[in-house]
Structure 1
């Protein structure tokens, strides 16, 4: 049936499916984090970025890593700092530069969240076989590079 549709229509249908899966998965994870851990996906994302860069990052680098505005990153970091999960330190070479890093409590909390997040990802996508994962990963990598899938 799909083979009879023009490629442009098939591509549009694929885009809609991809978007639907992405939005449904993100919505599920947002709700999971809210209900089970009283946190938000943006907080999780900031903590994940800081966990990967234990030495800390500038606020500008954090915004770039997360693809969000400086204002959005600052608002999340403000709340995390208030909760004792991150700390800000001023650069010793440039007073205008502020570094942010997870505190020990932030590291511990993120490790718990990350393990729970991973289990939830397994719940969402665990039905995919190794072959499915390899194929899908290959396709998405090629799409990300602008190549034809």
Structure 2
């Protein structure tokens, strides 16, 4: 009869600390949070997460942004940004105009209605994120934040 071998505590600890296991947990957690935030934005505001993210970039900018700058900040193609902006313009949430110094370039900014809606959505978004992480106390969140900062630095050094 075959005997089942069980991993030792040391082997289990090594597995828990493996970079692959870490990556899979980070990825799974980020995907779960993103999916839930996306679901809530759609249910509460009929808003997609990419449109919300674009509006967030505009809200934090003191001046209108060029489409290329939005693409860079959102890490998506110019075509993706153009499509998002087109829909937000149709909804009256952003305004697009030709740049004075470069007639080939368009600048985008939130409208008054867009800014007002974004402020409501941002407050809800912040509350939802807080709710999703309220199973961790302040000390655990601070530790996790520091560890993720260190992980980001480690990855950036390799790039």
Same-fold call, TM > 0.5? yes
Alignment of 1:54-133 (within 5 A): 54-133=62-141
Counterpart of 1:139 (choices 135, 140, 147) is: 147
Once the two structures are TM-superposed, the CA of residue 3 in structure 1 deviates from its matched residue by 3.6
Per-residue Cα deviation, 1:21-65 (whole angstroms, up to 9, x for no partner): 111111111111111111100110000010011411100000000
- Which structure has the bigger radius of gyration? 2
RMSD: 1.9
The 1:121/1:96 distance shift into structure 2, 3 A limit, reads same
Unpaired segments ≥5 residues, structure 1: none
Unpaired segments ≥5 residues, structure 2: 1-7
TM-score relative to the length of structure 2:
0.86
TM-score relative to the length of structure 1:
0.92
